[in-house]
Every structure is written in structure tokens, then in C-alpha cells.
């Protein structure tokens, strides 16, 4: 297993992404872009968080 390196950059290091999504597929895309080094800025509605955070198994 490789050790996590916080200061390591990826191929998308100079890309900035504005994430306004609420759908699972797009939220996951933002995670993948960040994993490849993009600077992802997540915008959520005022007084409400991303719907995905409220999904729970019952």
C-alpha cells in the first residue's frame, strides 16, 4: 500500500472546478477530479447541505 502524500500534485494540479452538483454521479466526479489534483470548490445552498450527506441506510 502506498503512503498518502498531502503535498503531492496530480495531472490536474492547475485546474479549478466549481461544483454546484446535487446528484451522486457528479459529486463522485468531483472527488475523482480532486484525487487527480484539481482544486474543487463545492458550493451548497444556503442553510442546506448536499443531499448526499443526508442519505442513510435504514
pLDDT tens-digit readout, 15-34: 999 998 877 778 889 889 99
**Residue matched to cell numbers 446535487:** 22
* In contact, 34 and 28? CB cutoff 8 Å: no
Element (H, E) at 16: strand 16-19
Count the neighbouring beta carbons within 10 Å of the beta carbon of residue 51: 14
Residue 31 inside a domain? The answer is yes
Residue 58 inside a domain? The answer is no
Average pLDDT of the chain to the nearest whole number: 81
% of the chain at pLDDT higher than 90: 29
The number of domains in the chain is: 1
CA distance 31 to 9: 15
Is the pTM higher than 0.75? no
Mean pLDDT of 32-41: 92
User: Domain of 19?
Assistant: 11-44
Amino acid at each position: 500500500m502506498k503512503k498518502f502524500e498531502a503535498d503531492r500534485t496530480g495531472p490536474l494540479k492547475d485546474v479549478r472546478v466549481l461544483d454546484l452538483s446535487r446528484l451522486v454521479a457528479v459529486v463522485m466526479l468531483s472527488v475523482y477530479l480532486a484525487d487527480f489534483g484539481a482544486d474543487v470548490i463545492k458550493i451548497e445552498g444556503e442553510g442546506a447541505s448536499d443531499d448526499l450527506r443526508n442519505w442513510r441506510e435504514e
